[in-house]
Every structure is written in C-alpha cells, then in structure tokens.
Chain A
Amino acid sequence: MKLPVYIGLLDEAEATLASSFRVVADGHGDEPDVHFILQTFAKKCDAHREALKPVIDRYGEDIEGEEEHRLTANGVKEVRSGPLALMLDLQDLYVLVNHIDVTWMMVGQAAKGARDTELQGVVEQCEGDSELEIRWLQTRMKQAAPQALLVAE
C-alpha cells in the first residue's frame, strides 16, 4: 500500500509551502496585503500538518524509495527584486499551492476507497483552504499584472 508515501509527500509539501509563504511575506513587507495574508496562509499550512499527525501515526511513514517519489516542486527560498518580483514570487506560490491541491485530491480519493473517515475529514478541510489560496493568488496577480507588465520599470 502506497498511501503512506503520499501522506508523507503532503506533509513535506505543506512544510515547504509554509516556509515559502513566510519567505514571500517577509520579502514583500511593502505590500501589506501580501505580507499579512501570506502569514495567515502559512499558519493554515501549520494547521494542516497538525491535522495530518494522527493520520501519519496510524499509517506510519513509508520512506522506501523516497527520492524517486519526490515531486519536483521546490519551495521559494528567497524573493526576487525588480518590477516583476511580486508577480513572479506569487506565481511560484501558485504552482506550489496547485501541487498541494491536486495531491490532497488524490489522497482524498484513496481515503474514500479506504473508507477512512478521519482522513476524509482532514482532506475536506485542507482542500477548501488550498482552493481559497488559489483564488486569492489569482485575484492578486490579476490586479498586479497590467501594471507590472505594461508600465513598471
């Protein structure tokens, strides 16, 4: 059974996303909405990891073949500078969130197959959060794009 591999992936991806949110939040302190909302999102990632803990305890960690199973979505380690910086950094977060979103979907499918109601509950909560994060990132990038691409220097 390979579900534990994916649960481990999720845990790691949430940790990566949390630190990426915090890097972008800190690096764009001059954009107060970005700064504060990404901190809120980072806390949500922390909460998702908390919620996963009992599930991980039950299934155990399967680290066999960890390297080959790891996806290529890396976290944001530092913010960019220049007129496109905010948009590109948000776009990186967008990729990370979408990666997590689809991972939750797949784990959710397996949880249904396994009739694991506890895991289903966790998935439901976390999927809602990633969907909100995607919508917010889209809203903010829509706002930023014309100015950044047409007039910023």
Chain B
Amino acid sequence: MTDRIADIWGERTPHGSGQAWPERVDQVLAEGLTDGDVDRWVQSACVLCSNGCGCDIAVKDGKLVGIRGRAQDRVNRGRLGPKGLYGSWQGEEHPDRLTRPLIRVDGRLVETDWDTAMGRIVERSKELLASKGPLSHGFYTSGQLFLEEYYALGMLGKAGIGTPHMDGNTRLCTATAAAALKESFGADGQPGSYTDIDECSAIFLYGHNMAETQTVLWSRVLDRLDGPNPPRLVCIDPRDTEVARRADVHLPVHPGTNLALMNGLVRELFANGWIDEDYIAEHTANVDQLRSVVEPWTPEKVAETCGVQAADVRRAAEIFGTEDRVLSTVLQGFYQSAHATASACQVDNLHLLRGMLGRPGCGLLQMNGQPTAQNNRECGADGDLPGFRNWENPQHVQDLARLWNVDPGIIPDWAPPTHALQIFRYVEQGSIELLWISATNPAVSMPQLERIRHILDQDSLFLVVQDIYLTETAQYADVVLPCAAWGEKTGTFTNADRTVHLSEKAVDPPGEARSDLDVFLEYARWMGFTDKDGRPLLDWSGPEDGFEAWKECSRGRPCDYTGLSYNKLRGGSGIQWPCTEGLPDGTERLYTDGGFPTAPEYCESFGHDLLTGATTGETEYKATVQPGKAWLKALDYTPPHEEPDADYPLRYTTGRTAYHFHTRTKTGRSRRLNDAAPEPWIEMSVEDAARAGCQEGDIARVTSRRGSLEVPVRVGDIRPGTVFAPFHYGYWDTSDGDTSDGGPHRAANELTITEWDPVSKQPLFKNAAVRVEKLRSGDGPSKAPDTTASRRATGAQR
C-alpha cells in the first residue's frame, strides 16, 4: 500500500463498464507490528465519512492496533481512505479521552461518579417536566451514533418525554437529501446504488467534492475513468476540485446560483426532446408546471446568472440528455446553499424526465454527509417519526403508539418537528431549559458561532453533553458524560446507499466511559419511563435487543430491516435495505418498476411548497396526488438573500478537506492526519488575492456581518469572486485551548449566516458575503494541503 497521505486514492485497479470493481485490500497496523502479532480481527465498518467501508479492526492485548478493509464488502472491496487508515483507532487513543463523568461545581467542571452525574440530570429533568412540561426539553444528536442508539433516543424523547424538540447534526449535512427524496418520491430512501458507478456511461456530481468527502467512492470512479469505455464526467463546483480536474465539463457556478443552473439543464431536456414521454405519463405528475417554471432559463440566461459559459451548459445538458446510463450524486454544494431542496429536486426531475431510475447505471444518490446520518433519519432521533412514518398521518402515529404500547397522545405529532436551529432559538429565548447534546459539537459546526457560544453559555440552560473528548461544546456543559467510541461498543449503521453494517465491540472503553446506548437506557430507567401497562418503555439489555425492536418498527415501511439480524450481518458483506423474508439478500435499487411511495396512506410526507416550506396538508395532498406517481416539483430562481456588495464584495463558502472529519475531534488527534492539514486557511483566486494585496501564506482578516477570522491565505484555483474556508477547525488545540472571546478567531462558522432552506431547514453554510484584508506577511506558504482542491494555483480556472 502506498503512503495514503500523499496518495489519497491509492493505486488504480481499473475496470470497464459492467465489470465488477476489483478487490484491493488496504491495511495499517501500529508501528512495529505484523499480521502475526494480531490477536484477533473484529468486524466493523468505518465511521469517518458517509461511505461506510467494511473493515476489520486488529486487536492485540486488549487494544486497538490496526485496521484493514474487507475485500468481500460491496461498498469498498477492501479499500480504506486516509481517515479510516490513519484516524480511526489512532484518533481514539489520545490521553485527552474522557474517562469519568464531569459536573459543574462553582463554575468549573470536576470529576464525579456516574450516579452523581446521572442523578443531577434526572433531578433537573423531573423538576422541569413537573413545572414546565415536555417542551422544556431538547435533544440534539449526531450523525455518528449507531442505529440502536438513535432508536433508543427517539423512543425516550417521543414516547418517554413527548417532546418535538429532537434533531441531529444530520440537519446540517443531510436534511436536504431526505427532504428532496420525500418531495419527489413520497418517502426517504436512496434510489441508487454504489454499483451504478460500475455500470454508468456518465456521472454528474452536483456540489459534491467526492474526491475528498468520500475518497473510496472516488477511487471507484477513478477506476472507471482509467479503465476501458470510461464514463463522461460533469462537475458543478466553484472550486477546482479533483473532480473538476477530471471532468469533461466543469461548471464553476457562483455559490448561491445552483437552482438557476438546474432549471437551465431541465429546460434543455425539454427543448431538445431528451425526455421519455411514456415514462413521464405513466410515472410522474406535474410535468406542465415544471415545464413552465424552467421555460425562461435559456443557457444564455443561466450563463449570465451563474457565471459560466452557455456552451458548457449546453454540453452538460447534452451529456445528461443523450447518454443512456447517467449516475447523479449530490452533496453539500447543493444541500448547504440557497434553494437547497428545490435544487436537489431538480436532480430528481432530470432522472424522472428521462425515466432513468431503478436500472443499472441509472443511479440517483442524494448523498449523506456523515456515516450514520441515514439511521438518524430512519429512527426518529431527528425531526422525523421512526420508520419514515408521516407525522401528519394519524394512522402512522397510532401504529407507533401500538408498537410502543403507549398513549398516542404522548407522541408529538401536532406540529412540524422542531429543527436544529429552532431548538437553539428556543434555548436562546429561555423556553428550552434542558438541552442534551450527544456526540456532536455545535460550538464549531453551527452557523454564526458567537451567537451559539452565547446560547450554550446561558444561565437558564442546563446543558448535558456526552462525547468521547471534552469538545468546545462540552466546555459549556453542566454535566459531561464520557462515552465509548467506535470499536468499543456494538451496533449497526447504514451508509448512503442503504448498506447496513454491523460494527462489533473490539475492546473495552477507557476508564468509566459507557456506550451512548447504555447512557440513554440508564436515563430511561432512572426517569421511570413506562408503557401503558407499567412495563419499562426501554427494557433492552443491549444493542441486539434494540436492533430486534427496530426491525419491528421498520416492518412494512420503505426501510424494512425485518430480513436482517446480527448473525446475518456477520462474516460477509453489508446488506442493502429493504431486506425482508421475501428479499433476503436486500435490494440493490429502489423504484425498479417505476412505482413510488406517494400513496397518501403510505407516504412519509404530504409535501411542501418549495419557496416557503408551507405544508401541503392532507386534504390538498389527497385531492391532487396520483398514487404511485412521483412528483415533478419546481421553483423559479431568485437570488440568495445575502449577496456581495460594496462592503462585503466576495462570496464566502465553507467545506471539507480529505484529511479531516467534522470538527476534527478524532482526526485532529491523529498525528498523520493532523500533520497533513494542521491549521485552517482561506482559499482565494490569484486575482482576488492580488486585489487584497495578499500573497501565499500571508495572514488575512476575513470579515462578514457576523464576525471575523484571522487565517493564512492559500492562493488557489477557486473561481474569482469566491473565498473558501474549511469548516473543521475550532479552538481545542489553539494556544489558549478554549473559545474565549477576544483572541483572534479561526473557525469558519464565525462568519456564516443563520438562515436555512425553507423545506429541509438545512443551514446555508455556502452563502455569505465577506471582505478580505491583509493583516501581515506570513513566514512561508500556508499549510493547506497541496494534494487536493486546496493546492496552490496552477491557473486551471478560467
């Protein structure tokens, strides 16, 4: 295996159209160890991006000492990316690990025992439930826990307490994927499969820097590009990413203008007759409205609005319109930008108009950002009801109540579930007084951090944080609970193409740390949550009980897990849901027969207006739906709300690097990964840097209406007029180690705006206006990676 810091994607194993992706097993062991030293290998899957690569964990003397890819797994065929190889077990072995619970005493966090910590939480929780009721409680979770943990949390929140204030940081990464799938097809569920990469004749990546966000998936694409009959590639991204460098057509649109481009691409399909009239008639509704909305968006108008070439718009549309097997993948460039849901729906529409769903190579992947985001959506620890049930459908709520044996009245179905930023707003206003944050770090990942710090610091708030390290967020907590990490607990999780993996416990967690599942079960016990017959609501003895309970919850729903079991998931490859008695091997692609889950009694959502997020409502939905047909939804483009002006002349966008995950809680503690990208930077084009008087490595101040950063400049190949900052960097490893105000800031989200997509409620991390000023000269080039999109300018951008 090559050094995978320098060679991120590893050696090529090319394959042609329709051929299976060859195996290539990647492995890293702790220094000095060989295979013979390993006591045992424990089956798992990687949790450092949404790809879900099957892996085995090496154990020696009760410690994690290595990792290797599972050759038999359908997702990765043995491969692992740099984060999996160098940041999985290595990122968990740091002496900073939390090993005992902490409580706040006289303003400081001090160590205590579990009973004292849990006692404090339960005392405050009961007091608030008695005095204010369930709406005083909020839960904000992660995209990194296991299915069983989300389901336990969903049950205790929805049937134990009865609060609608539950969400996950999945709101920040994948809410638009779920929203767009619900709007178009009636329910969440990824139509495509990763194997579509092996079968397709063209790939479109919409705001998806796959080369850095899912490095192993990009290896699969590279193996097609370097094999016989390679697919044509179209990239929509303002940066000169690795994807852009390999693309046949690169559309470096201005941030905030995705919808104009998408409307233009759809218009070209209509204008050139590249549509499947029969499929549209048999399987879709609303085509006339779609046609009229996109009508004004000629390639010339798109070019003017998006800052691209009209000829490139035509070429991209022609590829989509004339290739016979097109794969689309969508990610944060669309999801975290203006008109997120409407833009993602237009990708669905492109596939519907050509009838390109449910066939090999005709994949649609509304991707996830985090490894277990899918399970949060499925299990109801976020704003959804478990099993893709519809909160507006009383029958679905009754079903859940029957399953849980509780009074249906306790399940909060009276209003839209509360999304993350609204939860924080209620905390800000003092009406949520207990906020329980599990395995995530809003003090770095939320927009407008000055405001978030103020909210977390509020006197009225009792803050519980459970994590593996003392994150920037945990520093504000009243109680900190030390949790087990990956490899230290057992559970299942599901990746972006519906592949379910079992991750087994390989070693014990350090000190007194417990699994997140144990914490939730313990809280439910202490609180005395019971069903209608007085039996414990959550009587599971461990994760496998949770999985079996979840299977019943999923029965008959689109995400049906009833054909799976821990035993079945052991030994081989991960398996794609739905997996039932009748579909024992799982399901590679959804919607193979052109039937969609839009029937009113079955669908997950009655839909929304894409401009405002107004709910359609049951009556209107039933009056207009054609059961089984997909919706072609459309919205006209209007400019984003914050655009460049004289004071803030540049567009600001945030994103990721290949070497870090989320807020670097683990990857920043891996020596190899940290050395590869040790500190933040901002990326500017050659001409914007020159205008600001900045050279490579100079320290600049970047200012928006909400704050400022002081970071080194990387002069790169980003499109002129746009500035990029990686969002990973917070404050735990800065010299003063905390987030105290006054010192220079460096977290990208100091500058982002508190605004969200009206349908998915996903924050707009990629739409802000900033100015950049040189502060001082640097003492060398910035430390931004030279191996990826952040590499120094080569003049590739027009």
The reply to whether B613 and A136 form a contact with Cβ atoms under 8 Å apart is yes
Chain B residue total in the interface (Cβ 8 A): 32
The reply to whether B431 and A36 form a contact with Cβ atoms under 8 Å apart is no
Give A33 to B432 CA distance when docked, in angstroms.
Answer: 19
Q: What are 15 of the A-B contact pairs (CB < 8 Å)?
A: A33-B756, A36-B755, A37-B758, A40-B612, A83-B429, A132-B609, A132-B614, A135-B616, A136-B609, A136-B613, A138-B614, A139-B613, A143-B416, A151-B132, A153-B430
20 more contacts with CB within 8 A, not counting A32-B755, A135-B612, A135-B617, are A33-B613, A37-B613, A37-B758, A40-B612, A40-B638, A83-B429, A83-B431, A132-B611, A135-B615, A136-B613, A139-B613, A139-B614, A142-B415, A142-B416, A143-B416, A150-B133, A151-B135, A151-B432, A152-B430, A152-B431
Nearest CB on A from B445, distance (A): 18
A66 interface residue per 8 A CB criterion: no
B798 interface residue per 8 A CB criterion: no
B425 interface residue per 8 A CB criterion: yes
The reply to whether B431 and A132 form a contact with Cβ atoms under 8 Å apart is no
Give A31 to B415 CA distance when docked, in angstroms.
Answer: 18
Most chain-B CB neighbours within 10 Å: which of A37, A83, A146, A152?
Answer: A146
CB-defined contacts of A40 to chain B, threshold 8 Å: 611-612, 638
- Contacts A36-B641, A146-B415, A153-B430 known; A132 to B135 CB distance under 8 Å? no
Contact string, A123-153, partner B, CB cutoff 8 A, digits 1/0? 0000000001001101100110111001111
Contact string, B750-776, partner A, CB cutoff 8 A, digits 1/0? 000111101000000000000000000
- Contacts A37-B612, A135-B609, A139-B416 known; A146 to B425 CB distance under 8 Å? no
Contact string, A101-138, partner B, CB cutoff 8 A, digits 1/0? 00000000000000000000000000000001001101
Nearest CB on B from A145, distance (A): 7
Nearest CB on B from A3, distance (A): 30
B27 interface residue per 8 A CB criterion: no
CB-defined contacts of A31 to chain B, threshold 8 Å: 425
B402-426, CB < 8 A from A: 414-416, 418, 421-422, 425-426
Closest to B128 in A: A151
Q: List residues of B whose CB falls within 8 A of some A CB.
A: 132-133, 135-136, 164, 414-416, 418, 421-422, 425-426, 429-432, 609, 611-617, 638, 641, 753-756, 758
Give A95 to B615 CA distance when docked, in angstroms.
Answer: 19
Give A151 to B133 CA distance when docked, in angstroms.
Answer: 8
Nearest CB on A from B103, distance (A): 25
Nearest CB on A from B528, distance (A): 22
Interface residues of A, dominant DSSP: helix
Question: B431 is contacted by which of A30, A32, A147 (Cβ under 8 Å)?
Answer: A147
Chain A residue total in the interface (Cβ 8 A): 22
- Contacts A139-B416, A142-B415, A146-B415 known; A151 to B755 CB distance under 8 Å? no
CB-defined contacts of B136 to chain A, threshold 8 Å: 151
Nearest CB on B from A84, distance (A): 12
Closest to B451 in A: A30
Nearest CB on B from A135, distance (A): 4
CB-defined contacts of A150 to chain B, threshold 8 Å: 132-133, 135
Most chain-A CB neighbours within 10 Å: which of B418, B430, B614, B756?
Answer: B614
Closest to B620 in A: A135
CB-defined contacts of B612 to chain A, threshold 8 Å: 37, 40, 132, 135-136
Nearest CB on A from B311, distance (A): 33
Give A135 to B132 CA distance when docked, in angstroms.
Answer: 30
Give A63 to B94 CA distance when docked, in angstroms.
Answer: 80
The reply to whether A153 and B425 form a contact with Cβ atoms under 8 Å apart is no
CB-defined contacts of B638 to chain A, threshold 8 Å: 40
CB-defined contacts of A33 to chain B, threshold 8 Å: 613, 756, 758
Most chain-B CB neighbours within 10 Å: which of A33, A36, A146, A153?
Answer: A33
Give A94 to B758 CA distance when docked, in angstroms.
Answer: 19
Can you list the 7 inter-chain pairs with the closest CB atoms, starting with the nearest?
Answer: A136-B614, A135-B614, A136-B612, A151-B431, A152-B431, A142-B415, A151-B135
Question: A147 is contacted by which of B421, B426, B613, B614 (Cβ under 8 Å)?
Answer: B426
The reply to whether A152 and B429 form a contact with Cβ atoms under 8 Å apart is yes
CB-defined contacts of B753 to chain A, threshold 8 Å: 32
Q: List residues of A whose CB falls within 8 A of some B CB.
A: 30-33, 36-37, 40, 83, 132, 135-136, 138-139, 142-143, 145-147, 150-153
CB-defined contacts of B641 to chain A, threshold 8 Å: 36
The reply to whether B609 and A143 form a contact with Cβ atoms under 8 Å apart is no
Give A143 to B422 CA distance when docked, in angstroms.
Answer: 10
Give A142 to B133 CA distance when docked, in angstroms.
Answer: 18
Question: B615 is contacted by which of A36, A139, A145, A152 (Cβ under 8 Å)?
Answer: A139
CB-defined contacts of B422 to chain A, threshold 8 Å: 143
CB-defined contacts of B133 to chain A, threshold 8 Å: 150-151
Give A118 to B202 CA distance when docked, in angstroms.
Answer: 47
Nearest CB on A from B797, distance (A): 31
Closest to B418 in A: A143
The reply to whether A153 and B613 form a contact with Cβ atoms under 8 Å apart is no
Closest to B642 in A: A36
Give A37 to B641 CA distance when docked, in angstroms.
Answer: 10
Nearest CB on A from B347, distance (A): 24
Give A151 to B433 CA distance when docked, in angstroms.
Answer: 10
CB-defined contacts of B754 to chain A, threshold 8 Å: 32
CB-defined contacts of A30 to chain B, threshold 8 Å: 425
Nearest CB on A from B341, distance (A): 14
Nearest CB on A from B204, distance (A): 30
Give A30 to B418 CA distance when docked, in angstroms.
Answer: 16
Give A38 to B525 CA distance when docked, in angstroms.
Answer: 46
CB-defined contacts of B430 to chain A, threshold 8 Å: 152-153
CB-defined contacts of A83 to chain B, threshold 8 Å: 429, 431
Nearest CB on A from B360, distance (A): 40
Closest to A43 in B: B638
- Contacts A33-B613, A36-B641, A132-B614 known; A145 to B431 CB distance under 8 Å? no
Give A132 to B415 CA distance when docked, in angstroms.
Answer: 18
Give A146 to B136 CA distance when docked, in angstroms.
Answer: 11
Give A152 to B609 CA distance when docked, in angstroms.
Answer: 29
CB-defined contacts of B425 to chain A, threshold 8 Å: 30-31
Give A138 to B614 CA distance when docked, in angstroms.
Answer: 8
Closest to A150 in B: B135
The reply to whether A147 and B609 form a contact with Cβ atoms under 8 Å apart is no
CB-defined contacts of A153 to chain B, threshold 8 Å: 430-431
Nearest CB on A from B340, distance (A): 13
Nearest CB on B from A101, distance (A): 14
Closest to A134 in B: B614
Give A138 to B617 CA distance when docked, in angstroms.
Answer: 10
Question: A145 is contacted by which of B132, B415, B426 (Cβ under 8 Å)?
Answer: B415
Most chain-B CB neighbours within 10 Å: which of A30, A132, A139, A153?
Answer: A139
Closest to B137 in A: A151
CB-defined contacts of A143 to chain B, threshold 8 Å: 415-416, 418, 422
CB-defined contacts of A146 to chain B, threshold 8 Å: 135, 164, 414-415
CB-defined contacts of B414 to chain A, threshold 8 Å: 142, 146
Give A84 to B752 CA distance when docked, in angstroms.
Answer: 29
Closest to A38 in B: B612
Give A31 to B615 CA distance when docked, in angstroms.
Answer: 19
Give A30 to B430 CA distance when docked, in angstroms.
Answer: 14
Give A135 to B612 CA distance when docked, in angstroms.
Answer: 9
Most chain-A CB neighbours within 10 Å: which of B133, B136, B611?
Answer: B611
Closest to A44 in B: B611
CB-defined contacts of A147 to chain B, threshold 8 Å: 135, 426, 431
Give A153 to B609 CA distance when docked, in angstroms.
Answer: 32
Nearest CB on A from B412, distance (A): 9
Most chain-A CB neighbours within 10 Å: which of B414, B415, B416, B753?
Answer: B415
Nearest CB on A from B489, distance (A): 35
Give A135 to B614 CA distance when docked, in angstroms.
Answer: 6
Closest to B611 in A: A40
CB-defined contacts of A135 to chain B, threshold 8 Å: 609, 612, 614-617
Nearest CB on B from A55, distance (A): 23
Question: B756 is contacted by which of A32, A139, A145 (Cβ under 8 Å)?
Answer: A32
CB-defined contacts of B416 to chain A, threshold 8 Å: 139, 142-143
Closest to B433 in A: A151
Closest to B131 in A: A151
